[in-house]
């Protein structure tokens, strides 16, 4: 179990900044530009860790403690999604609730650290984050419940059986809303624009405006670990575990996670960001798809 936990954490720490680089490279390709290097986020993190943090005089200890809490709770969530199948992994009844509430804890501290600065921009970002994540959460849990129905278990391990001939339509109806939730949770287009400099339109980025140096690095790193975690879950929802050998499964996972990043980059390139008024509608649509999948999963033997 220790090996698997260490592997999950190491993979999340080392590989997660790659995803942002792949997304940006994909977007640059669609825009006809060369784009920044794929490793740019590593360079940024390295640079930020060597810089000092400037902390607003109006901020309290919450603001200073938040980056570490956000980083560790996001990282802790990754251990429930093991990287290599077969090896024992931490797993218990309803562990998926802990997984998503560790992310919730990190979001809580992100929101109160943003409010702590007293900036009007950060307050707006925090309010948007709280509102949209409240809408995204039910969708997440419905998709996980569907997967558990199919897998026949109560821990997240059981949810990762992957595509099979009899349940593929349910799997697709689960993976699609989960992908939409991933875009929302990770501040991607059409929900948020990670590249914008317009503080009035931001959601995630605006909450980091007062962070600098190592604090900012931890926040950025935590954000990329979260993206890594969601991408990994999508891959695990789709990859058929039963018909692949552990080696092939691990190899395919390593290839498929960057593929999710490429798809994300493509989505960001071909569509504009939605108006904030439309965000609830988008999440409701994702919820409807997720519920459809759930209802179908209630009877697994529909004869598909």
Partner 1 sequence: MIKFKLSSLPIFSESEFREKALGLTSSGCRISSFFASAVEGKRKLYLVLSDDEAGTVQVITTQPAAVPGNSGELSFHTLTTENPAFHLFEREIFEQSGIRPEGHPWLKPVRYPDRRPAETDFFRVEGSEIHQVAVGPVHAGIIEPGHFRFQCHGETVYHLETAHGFQHRGIETNLIGGPRPADLCKIEVTAGDSSIAHSTAYCRILEVLSETAPPARAEAIRAIALELERCANHIGDLGALAGDIGYLPTSSYCGRIRGDFLNMSALICGNRFGRGVIQPGGTGFDLSDKIKEQLLARLSAGRDDFISAVSLLWDSPTVLARFESTGTVSQEASEQIGMVGPAARASGCGRDIRQNHPSGIYRTDCPKIAVSDKGDVFSRAWVRWLEVKESIDFIEKLLQGLPSGDVFIDGAQKPAADTLAVSLVEGWRGEVCHTAITGTDGRFSSYKIVDPSFHNWFGLALALRDEQISDFPVCNKSFNLSYCGFDL
Q: Which residues bind partner 1 (CB under 8 A)?
A: 27, 30-33, 120-121, 123-124, 127-128, 189-190, 193, 195-201, 268-278
Minimum CB distance to partner 1 smaller for 154 or for 212: 212
As a whole number of Å, the end-to-end CA separation of the chain is 37
E-only strand ranges, 110-170? none
Which token pair is 129?
Answer: 């984050």
User: Are residues 175 and 234 in contact, defined by beta-carbon separation less than 8 angstroms?
Assistant: yes
CB atoms under 10 Å from CB of 290, counted, come to 26
Minimum CB distance to partner 1 smaller for 12 or for 286: 286
Minimum CB distance to partner 1 smaller for 68 or for 274: 274
The C-alpha torsion from 271 through 272 and 275 to 276, rounded to 10°, is 80
Minimum CB distance to partner 1 smaller for 93 or for 197: 197
**Shortest distance, position 286 Cβ to partner 1, whole Å:** 16
**Shortest distance, position 200 Cβ to partner 1, whole Å:** 5
**Shortest distance, position 267 Cβ to partner 1, whole Å:** 10
SS (H, E, C) 63-74: HHHHHHHHHHHH
Minimum CB distance to partner 1 smaller for 142 or for 283: 283
User: Are residues 180 and 139 in contact, defined by beta-carbon separation less than 8 angstroms?
Assistant: yes
What is the C-alpha radius of gyration for the chain, rounded to an integer number of angstroms? Answer: 19
Which token pair is 139?
Answer: 């969708």
Minimum CB distance to partner 1 smaller for 35 or for 90: 35
**Shortest distance, position 31 Cβ to partner 1, whole Å:** 4
**Shortest distance, position 192 Cβ to partner 1, whole Å:** 9
**Shortest distance, position 158 Cβ to partner 1, whole Å:** 37
Which token pair is 6?
Answer: 């260490």
CA distances from 65 to 106, 122, 215, 224 (A): 11, 17, 9, 19
Residue showing tokens 């609830």? 280
């Amino acid at each position: 179990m220790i090996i698997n936990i260490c592997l999950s954490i190491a993979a999340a720490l080392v590989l997660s900044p790659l995803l942002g680089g792949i997304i940006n490279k994909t977007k640059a390709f669609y825009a006809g530009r060369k784009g920044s290097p794929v490793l740019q986020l590593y360079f940024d993190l390295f640079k930020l860790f060597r810089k000092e943090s400037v902390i607003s005089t109006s901020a309290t200890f919450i603001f200073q403690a938040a980056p570490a809490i956000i980083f560790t709770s996001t990282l802790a969530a990754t251990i429930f999604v093991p990287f290599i199948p077969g090896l024992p992994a931490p797993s218990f009844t309803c562990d998926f609730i802990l997984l998503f509430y560790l992310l919730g804890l990190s979001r809580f501290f992100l929101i109160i650290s943003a409010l702590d600065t007293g900036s009007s921009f950060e307050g707006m970002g925090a309010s948007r984050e709280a509102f949209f994540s409240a809408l995204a959460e039910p969708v997440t849990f419905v998709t996980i419940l569907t997967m558990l129905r199919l897998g026949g278990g109560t821990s997240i391990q059981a949810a990762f059986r992957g595509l099979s001939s009899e349940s593929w339509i349910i799997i697709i109806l689960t993976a699609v809303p989960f992908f939409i939730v991933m875009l929302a949770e990770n501040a991607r287009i059409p929900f948020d624009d990670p590249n914008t400099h317009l503080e009035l339109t931001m959601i995630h980025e605006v909450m980091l405006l007062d962070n600098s140096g190592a604090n900012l690095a931890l926040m950025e790193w935590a954000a990329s670990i979260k993206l890594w975690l969601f991408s990994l879950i999508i891959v695990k929802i789709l990859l058929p575990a039963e018909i692949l050998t552990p080696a092939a499964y691990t190899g395919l996972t390593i290839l498929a996670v960057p593929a999710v990043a490429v798809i994300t980059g493509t989505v960001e390139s071909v569509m504009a960001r939605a108006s904030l008024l439309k965000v609830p509608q988008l999440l409701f649509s994702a919820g409807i798809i997720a519920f459809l999948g759930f209802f179908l999963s209630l009877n697994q033997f529909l004869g598909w």
